[in-house]
Amino acid sequence: MSTTPRTSPPPSTLPIILAARFGHRRVLLHAGVIYSLSSLLLPLAPRVALTLILLVIGGLSSGTFYPLCLSFIARNLPVRLLPFGIAAYSMDLLGGAHVVQALEGFYMDHFSWHWLFWNQAILTLPMIFCVYVGIPATPKDQLVPKCGYSGVVFVCAALTMLYIALDQGERLDWYNNGLINGLLLAGTLLFVAGVIKRRVDPYPFLDFGYLKGRNIMILALLLVAVRVLLLRSATIIPLFLEALHQYRPPETGHLLLLSLIPYLIGLPLVAHMMRWLHVRWVLFIGFSVVALVSFYDAHTLSTWIGNDFITQQMIGSVAICMALVGTMAGIVFEGLLTGAYRNRAGAYAQGAFFQVARLFGSVAGASALRRFILVREHFWQTKLVAGLAAAWPFGERVAYLGVALSPQAAGPLQRPEIATGLLAKSVAEQSLTLAIDDSFMLLAWISVVSLVAVGLMTPIPLPHRLPGAVPDPPPRPEPVKS
């Protein structure tokens, strides 16, 4: 698994507030500079406390790009180009984790851990240039004037505490830890306080009335499902290969890099298909293929290595492209249909809602999956050990192995210990393999539930039928033949 320290993004309400008050361009330029400087200085920090402070600063600054770039795409690209803008935006969500795995191993083998952060500082510079060239300044008359932000601060603090509790819950044993209980309680109370504050003093830059549609709730559920399905490549396969076959990050990174090929081909292809194929059909095909691939992987054997996952990885990557682009396109298209993206307050509210769903879907899914694998591994260990005596005489097996291993033993007393150790290792390997199989089966059923949700959606028009779309020019009349 990746050992790169993570810079957690902020609750997505905060970047929305800053953009409403100061404009997208100004916020992104300042955030890019801050992130580049923090990444540059982080490896040079002399103390752990300063390192943690720089990580927090880096997370707060980098987290502005996700919600603000998507809202800029939705509001400024021509409707006919929206699927391609969404596909480009999705490339980071899909390929980022795979590239990080490979780069981490490369830097650790050939340079030093410092480059894990200096690489980010360097890559941020062209991002700053793109923002400077591509995003115009927001006119002052479109910016929100100064107003009370106490309710939003309550919500931001609440989401931060809940995010930390979900992220660290498995490591700290959930409800048996006072810190996790305190974070959950304080986050819940602050969230309630923020809701009450909004009821008393509504914010002029957030209009949550655009979140009442059925499709909006279903698309939020699908976004969470996609984030969980992405754990197939980010968590399950690396865990299996590292635990059973001692793969190192460079080796798992090379396997995951192969997924970039179907991403690079599939994303523009899916964007082009959406000119004629409705969102629901794109989602149906994507989740169906992911379900089939996950059902196949649910029969993984302990002898499988990286090459045994390549075919499923390639097919599953194209299907994930369809599921993610279809979900993101559905979100943007619904914003255009409801008029949310023609209204800044609606665009900000919808953007904040879906980014919070994305963040919490990711952290909750990862935490729940880790817990699920641990519980299923313990279950299978208990079941396999309980069935050893019933399957074949355990004592005879140990004695047989002891005789066979006598050349490697220091003496007769060590023979049964070596045999018992080998059997225990075999049980542990099979238990983890069965737990991994169960996790793939879980992803398959999540895909099936997603298909049911897709069936409950109301139709979403094609891009050229959306509000604001420029109609296709009429065909030229054929010249009359004399």
Q: What is the mean pLDDT of residues 71-97?
A: 78
**Is pLDDT at 477 greater than 70 in this prediction?**
no
Whether pLDDT at 423 is above 90: no
Burial class from Cβ neighbours inside 10 Å (0-12, 13-18, 19+) for residue 322 reads buried
Q: Of residues 435 and 247, which shows the higher confidence score? A: 435
Dist. CA 406–CA 400, nearest whole Å: 10
In the structure encoding, which two tokens stand for residue 171, read together?
Answer: 């490591």
Residue 256 has a pLDDT of 74
Q: Who's near 97: CB < 8 A, 6+ residues apart?
A: 2, 230, 233, 234, 256
pLDDT at residue 420, as a whole number? 62
The pLDDT assigned to 66 comes to 75
Residue of 481 and 185 predicted with greater confidence: 185
Please state, rounded to an integer, the average pLDDT across all residues of the chain: 78
pLDDT band at 383 (very low <50, low <70, confident <90, very high): confident
More confident residue, 190 or 16: 190
Locate all alpha helices (DSSP H) within 171-309, ordered by sequence. Answer: 178-200, 214-229, 231, 237-245, 249-257, 260-273, 279-297
Q: Is the pLDDT of residue 243 over 90?
A: no
Most confident of 249-263, 280-294, 343-357, 396-410: 280-294
- The domains found in the chain, sorted by start residue, are 13-147+203-378+431-460 (1.20.1250.20)
pLDDT score for 394: 53
Angle between helices 82-110 and 310-338 (to 10 degrees): 140
Token code pair at residue 420: 């018992």
pLDDT at 4: 43
- The pTM for the full model equals 0.80
**77-81, 118-122, 273-277, 385-389: which has the minimum mean pLDDT?**
385-389
Whole-angstrom distance, CA of residue 223 vs CA of residue 450: 10
pLDDT tens-digit series, residues 61-78: 887 777 777 777 777 778
In this predicted structure, what is the pLDDT of residue 145? 65
Q: How confident is the model at residue 135 (pLDDT cuts 50, 70, 90)?
A: confident
pLDDT for the residue numbered 8: 46
- Check pLDDT > 50 for residue 133: yes
- Between 17 and 446, the higher pLDDT residue: 446
Helices and strands per DSSP (H, E), number in the chain: 18, 0
Q: Give the per-residue pLDDT at 390.
A: 59
**Do the Cβ atoms of 467 and 336 come closer than 8 Å?**
yes
Residue 450's pLDDT band, with cuts at 50, 70 and 90, is: very high
Of the candidates 284, 287, 340, 293, the one whose C-alpha atom is nearest the C-alpha of residue 313 is: 293
Task: Give the rounded distance of the alpha carbon of 274 from its chain centre.
Answer: 23
Q: Is 266 exposed, middle or buried (0-12, 13-18, 19+ CB in 10 A)?
A: buried
Residue 32: which pLDDT band, with cuts at 50, 70 and 90? Answer: confident
User: What is the spatial distance between Cα 162 and Cα 177, in angstroms, rounded to a whole number?
Assistant: 14
pLDDT at 475: 47
Residue 464 has pLDDT above 80, yes or no: no
